[in-house]
């Protein structure tokens, strides 16, 4: 009986042992099969993400969803990091730029003696305390965020060796004046964003592109954009949608900038020089006075008058209104001719006058104007002359040419009439009457030449 129980016990143990062995073996087989399946799946996924021109076997339907999601995560970049196919040479590697900017702000690069942090021709930071600086000659590129911080800096002059600005180059700068060279061709995105002290800026004639948000969120009041600029991003001045109260774009007529300002409701001012004035005239207008008149020139803000007296050429005066097209020189010579030129002008972004052309000059003496309404009447024994009085005249000189004679002095009077008692009765006598004044040297100065008149004695 005991022997039977022992055999039963041994048999039970062997069954248990066999079952355990079988389960372990089965688990090992399952694990190997799972490993093989994962390897196969991995190979199929890798084949699916190959370029389109390389064929791959279709995955099982239940695996395609996972693979497409992984592929999407691997190949689709955030929108702001996508690079256009026509990539410009000034395009910025945003990720690398931010790393460099961070390094420049104290994570690896040291400033030079003047406070400039420069590496491989790129200016990454300025840590000096100067009020005004000029970028060193060994700098060819202004890095991102290079001037975001030095609050003492008021003026930045960028040298001609600089050919490139990175995005955000002057972002947040406290500078009030930034001078750019004509070696730069592009103002990249957000270059001057948050430059709240920058009221005006002149873009050089070399600028071709103004990028996205280049002047966003600023207090800019004036900007000059040259005719060379062919591309302006729609939001380059995104804090001025339809706002004519603050920003004025200075630009050539019919330029891209001109059209941009019109299309976006931004105030603008045309920088083309006005045309030369027409119908310029000069007349004597009194003692040491010459009056100039002309026709208005389109877009002129006023007119500059230059003259030549005693052989010396120089500024005489100006008018500051386009509708005012007269000017009187009150310091004109009375003993010689005064020569005059009139130039239309406009004011530029710096409030400096820029003169247009002048096509002709005029001249006159600073003497009394000619008498008007000069008339001759025949009377017994002579010819009676009458005329209108001239303001400022001390008297009148009468010249004439009697029948067959020469032009000569005939007489003078302080009145507005004179009778020539030696006039010819058989032939016409010709007369001129000149008002006169006495100059500081006591010399009698005759006024402007009048129209002549003629008559015969009875």
Domain, as residue range, for 411: 375-455
Check: CB of residue 124 under 8 Å from CB of residue 148: no
Q: State the pLDDT at residue 23.
A: 40
Distance CA 219, CA 107 (A): 32
| 257 located within any domain | no
Give dist(CA 168, CA 148) in Å, integer.
Answer: 9
Pairwise CA distance, residues 23 & 62, whole Å: 30
Residue 328 lies in a domain: yes
- Rounded to whole angstroms, the Cα distance separating 24 from 16 reads 12
Residues 454, 377: Cα–Cα separation, whole Å = 8
Residue that finishes a domain, picked among 364, 392, 407: 364
pLDDT the model gives residue 457: 96
Q: Computed from CA positions of residues 370, 376, 380, 381, in that sequence, does the dihedral angle turn out positive or negative?
A: positive
- Residue ending a domain, choose from 343, 364, 385: 364
If asked whether residues 357 and 427 sit together in one domain, one would say no
What is the predicted pLDDT for the residue at 148? 86
pLDDT value for 103 = 57
- The Cα–Cα gap between 125 and 110 comes to 10
Instruction: In whole angstroms, give the CA distance from residue 23 to residue 286.
Output: 130
Question: How far is it, in rounded angstroms, from Cα 199 to Cα 144?
Answer: 21
Q: What are phi and psi of 292, to 5 degrees?
A: -110, 140
Ordered DSSP codes for 111-167: --TTSEEEETTEEEEE----SEEE--TT--EEPTTTTSS-TT--EEE--TT--EE-T
The helix (H) or strand (E) run that includes residue 7 is: helix 2-48
Q: Could you give the CA distance from residue 433 to residue 370 in angstroms, rounded to a whole number?
A: 8
Tell me whether residue 19 is in a domain.
no
294 is a domain residue: yes
Considering the domain boundaries, does residue 41 fall inside one? no
265 and 321 Cβ atoms separated by less than 8 Å? no
How high is the pLDDT of residue 29? 35
Same domain, 360 and 380: no
CA distance linking residue 218 with residue 211, whole number of Å: 15
DSSP for 432-457 reads EEEEEEE-TTS-EEE------EEE--
Assess if residue 416 is contained within a domain. Answer: yes
Instruction: Measure CA 394 to chain center.
Output: 56
Quickly tell me which residue has 């007269």 as its tokens: 326
Decide if 271 contacts 348 (C-beta within 8 A). Answer: yes
Q: Which of 332, 351, 328, 354 is nearest to 343 (CA)?
A: 354
Same domain, 283 and 351: yes
Beta strand residue intervals within 171-254, DSSP E: 177-179, 186-187, 200-202, 209-210, 222-224, 231-232, 248-251
Give Dmax (Cα) for the chain: 193
For residue 89, the number of C-alpha atoms closer than 13 Å in the C-beta half-sphere is 6
Does residue 309 sit in the same domain as residue 351? yes
Q: Does residue 165 come out as left (phi exceeding 0), alpha (psi in the -120 to 50 range) or beta?
A: beta
In a domain, 321, yes or no: yes
The domain boundary residue, chosen from 364, 391, 407: 364
**Rounded to an integer, what distance in angstroms lies between the CA atom of residue 250 and that of residue 217?**
19
58 located within any domain: no
Q: Tell me how many domains the chain contains.
A: 2
Same domain? For 379 and 356 the reply is no
pLDDT for 105 equals 59
| Tens of each residue's pLDDT in the chain, 458 residues | 433 333 333 334 333 333 443 343 333 433 444 444 344 444 433 333 333 333 333 333 444 433 343 443 333 333 443 333 333 344 444 455 555 556 555 557 899 999 999 999 999 999 999 999 999 999 999 999 999 876 789 999 999 999 999 999 999 999 999 999 999 999 999 999 999 999 999 999 999 999 999 999 888 999 999 999 999 999 999 875 444 468 999 999 999 999 999 998 899 999 999 999 999 999 999 999 999 999 999 999 999 999 999 999 999 999 998 889 999 999 999 999 999 999 999 999 999 999 999 999 999 999 999 999 999 999 999 999 999 999 999 999 999 999 889 999 999 999 999 999 999 999 999 999 999 999 988 999 999 988 999 999 99
The pLDDT, as a whole number, for residue 88 is 39
* CATH code: domain of residue 427: 2.60.40.10
Task: Give the C-alpha separation, 187 to 349, whole Å.
Answer: 19
Question: Is the same domain home to 339 and 384?
Answer: no
Regarding whether 385 and 414 lie in a shared domain, the answer is: yes
């Amino acid at each position: 009986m005991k022997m039977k129980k022992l055999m039963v016990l041994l048999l039970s143990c062997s069954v248990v042992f066999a079952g355990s062995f079988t389960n372990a073996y089965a688990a090992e087989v399952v694990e190997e099969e799972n490993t093989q399946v994962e390897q196969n799946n991995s190979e199929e996924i890798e084949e699916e993400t190959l370029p389109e021109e390389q064929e791959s076997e279709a995955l099982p339907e239940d695996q395609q969803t996972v693979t497409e999601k992984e592929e999407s995560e691997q190949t689709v970049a955030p929108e702001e990091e996508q690079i256009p196919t026509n990539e410009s040479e000034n395009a910025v590697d945003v990720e690398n730029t931010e790393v460099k900017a961070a390094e420049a702000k104290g994570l690896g690069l040291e400033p030079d003696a003047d406070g400039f942090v420069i590496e491989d021709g790129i200016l990454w930071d300025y840590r000096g305390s100067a009020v005004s600086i000029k970028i060193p000659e060994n700098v060819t590129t202004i890095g991102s965020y290079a001037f975001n911080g030095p609050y003492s800096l008021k003026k930045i002059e960028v040298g001609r060796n600089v050919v490139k600005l990175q995005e955000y180059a002057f972002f947040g700068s406290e500078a009030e004046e930034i001078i750019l060279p004509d070696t730069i061709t592009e103002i990249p995105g957000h270059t001057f964003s948050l430059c709240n002290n920058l009221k005006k800026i002149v873009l050089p004639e070399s600028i071709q592109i103004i990028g996205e948000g280049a002047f966003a969120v600023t207090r800019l009041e004036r900007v000059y954009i040259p005719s060379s600029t062919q591309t302006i991003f729609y939001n380059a001045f995104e804090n001025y949608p339809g706002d004519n109260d603050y920003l004025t774009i200075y630009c050539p007529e019919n330029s891209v900038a001109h059209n941009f300002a019109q299309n976006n409701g931004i105030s603008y001012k045309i920088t083309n020089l006005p045309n030369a004035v027409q119908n310029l005239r000069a007349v004597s207008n009194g003692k040491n006075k010459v009056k100039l008149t002309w026709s208005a020139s389109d877009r002129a803000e006023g007119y500059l008058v230059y003259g030549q007296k005693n052989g010396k050429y120089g500024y005489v005066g100006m008018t500051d209104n386009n509708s005012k097209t007269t000017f009187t020189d009150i310091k004109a010579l009375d003993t010689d001719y005064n020569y005059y030129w009139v130039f239309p002008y406009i004011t530029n972004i710096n409030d400096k006058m820029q003169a247009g052309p002048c096509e002709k000059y005029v001249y006159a003496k600073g003497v009394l104007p000619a008498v008007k309404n000069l008339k001759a009447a025949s009377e017994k024994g002579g010819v009676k002359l009458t005329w209108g009085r001239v303001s400022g005249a001390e008297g009148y000189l009468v010249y004439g040419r009697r029948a067959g004679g020469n032009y000569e002095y005939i007489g003078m009077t302080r009145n507005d009439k004179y009778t020539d008692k030696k006039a010819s009765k058989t032939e016409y006598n010709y007369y001129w009457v000149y008002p006169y004044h006495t100059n500081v040297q006591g010399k009698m100065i005759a006024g402007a030449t009048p129209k002549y008149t003629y008559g015969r004695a009875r």
